[in-house]
Amino acid sequence: NAGVTQTPKFRILKIGQSMTLQCTQDMNHNYMYWYRQDPGMGLKLIYYSVGAGITDKGEVPNGYNVSRSTTEDFPLRLELAAPSQTSVYFCASSYLGGDQSYNEQFFGPGTRLTVL
């Protein structure tokens, strides 16, 4: 299993440009998440999905959009990039079944995005 994969690893955008960060997991996890991590700060949840076709906002959704057409893929779209979106973006997935007492989230390697 490759686990959670993300592309690209690095990207530099100009203000106002758009891009899609790709995330794929091969563990048949139902839950997927997008986080951003800024220096000295904890991970902040941008969007999450509890299954194909279902997405919801997290703590910091403004400026982003997501879709979940399949169990495996959860792309994050940035429209009109701004310098405040310079960050490291992590995708994660987890499986929550009947016993929802445990939630280990598995993370992808991250995408380092700079907006200039």
Partner 1 sequence: RKEVEQDPGPFNVPEGATVAFNCTYSNSASQSFFWYRQDCRKEPKLLMSVYSSGNEDGRFTAQLNRASQYISLLIRDSKLSDSATYLCVVNPLGNDYKLSFGAGTTVTVRA
* Residue 40 CA, distance from chain mean position: 19
Question: Which among 12-20, 65-73, 78-86, 106-114 is the span making contact with partner 1, rule CB under 8 A?
Answer: 106-114
Q: In sequence order, what are the residues at sequence separation of 6 or more whose Cβ sits closer than 8 angstroms to the Cβ of residue 109?
A: 5, 6, 9
If one asks whether residue 2 binds partner 1 (CB under 8 A), the answer comes out as: no
Rg (CA), the chain: 14
- Alpha-carbon gap, residue 114 to 19, rounded angstroms: 12
Pick the closer one to partner 1 by CB: 14 or 39: 39
Work out whether 58 is an interface residue with partner 1 (CB under 8 A): yes
Q: Is 83 in the site for partner 1 (CB under 8 A)?
A: no
* Closest separation in Å from C-beta 38 to partner 1: 9
Based on the shown chain and the rule CB under 8 A, indicate whether residue 77 belongs to the binding site for partner 1: no
97: three-class secondary structure by DSSP: coil
Residue nearer to partner 1 on the CB measure, 17 or 106 = 106
